[in-house]
C-alpha cells in the first residue's frame, strides 16, 4: 500500500487506539529499531502523564551497551499480541541472530498521543538510549488533534533527544481521506517536514502492506496481528539497519 489518500468506507471516528470499535480502520505508520533482548517497561514505572497515580520512580538506565528505545503507542507496545511477538522484539531477534550488541527497550504506551509522549520524554531519556525511534501521532489523528499541534509536540520530542546526544529515527503516519482530504494531507506532511528539518532517517509509513489487510490485522482492523508484526519488522529493517550501522561505524559498537 503506497498511498492512502482515498476514502475508506469502514472508517469511523474514535477516541484513540486502545478505545477502538470493531470495523474502525486507520491508515497510519510507525517504525522502529530494536536490539537483541527486550527490556520491558513495567506498568508501575509509566509516568503519571500516561496513567493515574503518584509520580513514577526514575527508571534505571539500561545495562552498558548500545540501546534502542521504541517510543510510541499501542502499535509499538504490541496491543493484542504477546510482547515477544510485537515488531520491536521481532527486529531485536534479527539483531541477536547477527550477534550485534544492541539492547531494546519498548516504551510504547497504549493510548499515547504526542502530547502525553512529550510529557514523558525526559523520563524515557533517563534510560540512556543510543537511538530513539519516534513512532507517535496515530491517536492525535484519531482524536482530531490539529496537525500543527502534533508537529509542535514531535519537534519538542526530537529536540530533547538531540540535546541529550541521542540519535533519532522518525516514523511517518497517514490518515484516511474520510477525515477530510485537507486534514489528511496536512497530517501526512508533518512527518517528512520534520525529517527534512532535522535530517532524520525516516520510514514514511509503518503499516506499508499491512493496513487494511484482514489477514494481517486483528478483529479491530487497526492493530496488527502476529503476521502483521512480522511484516512490519521486515519493512522497517532496512532503515533501522542503516541507522545502527552508521553508529557502529562511528565506533559505537561494543
Indicate the length of the chain as a whole number.
254
Please say if 247 is a catalytic residue.
no
- Considering the candidates 73, 223, 229, 235, report the single residue annotated as catalytic: 223
Parallel/antiparallel/unpaired status of strands 102-106 and 202-203? unpaired
Residues 6+ apart with CB under 8 A from 191: 137, 154, 170, 171, 172, 173, 202, 204
Contact residues for 136 (Cβ-Cβ < 8 A; gap 6+): 30, 71, 72, 73, 112, 113, 114, 117, 153, 154, 157, 171
Active site residue 223: yes
Beta bridge partners of 133: 70, 169
140 is an active site residue: no
Q: Which of 73, 112, 140, 220 is catalytic?
A: 220
Whole-angstrom distance, CA of residue 31 vs CA of residue 45: 24
Q: Which of 73, 74, 229, 235 is catalytic?
A: 74
Residues recognised as catalytic: 74, 220, 223
Amino acid at each position: 500500500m503506497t498511498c492512502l489518500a482515498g476514502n475508506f468506507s469502514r472508517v469511523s471516528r474514535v477516541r484513540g487506539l486502545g478505545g477502538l470499535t470493531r470495523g474502525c480502520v486507520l491508515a497510519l505508520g510507525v517504525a522502529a529499531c530494536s536490539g537483541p533482548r527486550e527490556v520491558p517497561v513495567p506498568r508501575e514505572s509509566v509516568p503519571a502523564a500516561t496513567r493515574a497515580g503518584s509520580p513514577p520512580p526514575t527508571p534505571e538506565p539500561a545495562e552498558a551497551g548500545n540501546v534502542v528505545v521504541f517510543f510510541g503507542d499501542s502499535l509499538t507496545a504490541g496491543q493484542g499480541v504477546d510482547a515477544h511477538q510485537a515488531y520491536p522484539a521481532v527486529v531485536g531477534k534479527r539483531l541477536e541472530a547477527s550477534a550485534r550488541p544492541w539492547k531494546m527497550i519498548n516504551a510504547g504506551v497504549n493510548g499515547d498521543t504526542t502530547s502525553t509522549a512529550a510529557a514523558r520524554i525526559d523520563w524515557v531519556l533517563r534510560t540512556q538510549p543510543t537511538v530513539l525511534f519516534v513512532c507517535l501521532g496515530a491517536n492525535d489523528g484519531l482524536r482530531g488533534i490539529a496537525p500543527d499541534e502534533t508537529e509542535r509536540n514531535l519537534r519538542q520530542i526530537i529536540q530533547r533527544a538531540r540535546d541529550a546526544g541521542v540519535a533519532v529515527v522518525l516514523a511517518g503516519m497517514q490518515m484516511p481521506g474520510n477525515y477530510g482530504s485537507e486534514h489528511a494531507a496536512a497530517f501526512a506532511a508533518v512527518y517528512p517536514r520534520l525529517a527534512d528539518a532535522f535530517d532524520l532517517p525516516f520510514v514514511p509509513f509503518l503499516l506499508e502492506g499491512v493496513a487494511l489487510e484482514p489477514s494481517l490485522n486483528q478483529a479491530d482492523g487497526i492493530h496488527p496481528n502476529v503476521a502483521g508484526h512480522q511484516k512490519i519488522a521486515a519493512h522497517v529493517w532496512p532503515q533501522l539497519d542503516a541507522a545502527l550501522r552508521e553508529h557502529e561505524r562511528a565506533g559505537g559498537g561494543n
